[in-house]
Amino acid sequence: MAALLEVKDLVVNFALRGGELTALNGISFSLNQGERLGLVGESGAGKSVAGFSIINLISKPGYIAGGRVLFQGREISVLPFAQLRGIRGNLITMVFQDPMMTLNPVLTVGTQMIETLQAHQRISDRDAADIAVDKLRQVHIPSPERRLEQYPHEFSGGMRQRIIIAIALLNNPQLIIADEPTTALDVTIQAEIMDLFVELCNQQEMGLILITHDLAVVYETTEKIAVMYAGQIVEQGPTEEVVSSPMHPYTQGLIAALPQGDQRGTRLNQIPGTMPTLTSIPAGCSFHPRCSQAREICSRQTPALKPGQARERLVACHMLHQ
């Protein structure tokens, strides 16, 4: 079976007056039908750019400088705008972070949902409204018929995010890309939204790419994980294994930095320093200035993402490939 999505050596550059900046430096991953992948990293790691670049939503001065994106075996990174439109919002949909910003405040929820359907299907208003009601019900919004008439401001943050998910589901997509979908929400609502994602993915065999900085959310939601640092994937593998035995020093540091319930009041393990900005990515392994295990080779040579002990696990670190 062909993979649902294959990203191969994707490079995204930003052409600025001062020169080219590389935001994504050759990332590769794949996703099967119904699989859930977490893209984790701190701000500036390039995880959002990675998500956007899948459906070529990178706007100028950014552009895809290399690599390929294959969706159901078809290369979509080179498609012209008109054909890309048939995929965006249809086969691949996105859910963004801020539910306040994503909905149009001057249109009713119903109008926005019907519009999305009619952009991709020849369908009457009435049929479209029926589908909209059905999708709102799927995301557990009570009395959906009445809700269609309402404006976004009449909903709470969590409900708005549900509506956005319902809109993302309208055309029965194969893949949802969710960029920090719960960061603006409270924890109890976050728990509900993540439960909803898992439920929908299981029901409809939908793929999910969850972009977040929160390792714990990824741990609870996804099957695969890719940890990003400074525009590269540094570690990749099954979520359970990566979290329980991280191999890359950065992943190890991230996990060790989280407070554990049983060590109250003690110092946390911190990673010294900060993520480099795009203008000052160090030579060699981009993590080496912050890495406690760094040796001479790390500052000279960029480590490739290679299999670790198990075949499905990939790690980019010199220390593990000697």
Partner 1 sequence: MEHAARNTSTPLMRVDRLYKTFDISGGLLEQLAWSDGRLRRVKTVVKAINNVSFDIFEGETFSVVGESGCGKSTLGRTVIGLHTPDSGRVDYDQARIDTLSPRQMLPYRRRMQMVFQDPYASLNPRKRVVKILEEPLRFHFPELSSGEARDRLEEVMLQVGGDPQWLSRLPHEFSGGQRQRISIARSLVVDPEFVVADEPISALDVSIQAQILNLMLEAQEQRGLTYLFIAHDLSVVEHISTRVAVMYLGTVCELAETSELFSNPRHPYTQALLSAIPRLGHKRGKHLKPKEEHRERLKIDIRMISRMSWSSWASWPRRHLSAHRNVTAV
What is the binding site for partner 1 (CB under 8 A)? Answer: 42-43, 100, 153, 155-159, 184-192, 194-195, 213-217, 219-220, 240-241, 243-245, 253-255, 257-261, 263-265, 267-272, 274-275
Q: Smallest gap, in angstroms, from Cβ of residue 267 to partner 1?
A: 5
CA angle 23, 60, 73 (to 5 degrees): 70
Q: In what order do the strands lie in the sheet with 19-31?
A: 19-31, 5-16, 62-71, 74-75
Residue 322 corresponds to which tokens in the numbers above?
Answer: 């000697």
71/229 with CB nearer partner 1: 229
110/253 with CB nearer partner 1: 253
> With helix as H, strand as E and coil as C, how does 198-263 read?
HHHHHHHCCEEEEEECCHHHHHHHCCEEEEEECCEEEEEEEHHHHHHCCCCHHHHHHHHCCCCCCC
73/105 with CB nearer partner 1: 105
254/314 with CB nearer partner 1: 254
52/250 with CB nearer partner 1: 250
Q: Smallest gap, in angstroms, from Cβ of residue 43 to partner 1?
A: 6
Q: Smallest gap, in angstroms, from Cβ of residue 257 to partner 1?
A: 4
**Alpha carbon distance 33, 36 (integer Å):** 9
Q: Smallest gap, in angstroms, from Cβ of residue 260 to partner 1?
A: 8
**Alpha carbon distance 131, 128 (integer Å):** 5
123/278 with CB nearer partner 1: 278
Alpha carbon 216 to its chain's center = 15
Give me the count of residues in the chain: 322
55/159 with CB nearer partner 1: 159
CB 23 within 8 A of CB 45: no
Q: Residue ranges of the alpha helices (H) in the chain?
A: 47-54, 81-87, 99-102, 109-120, 125-138, 144-147, 157-169, 187-204, 215-221, 239-244, 249-256
Q: Smallest gap, in angstroms, from Cβ of residue 259 to partner 1?
A: 3
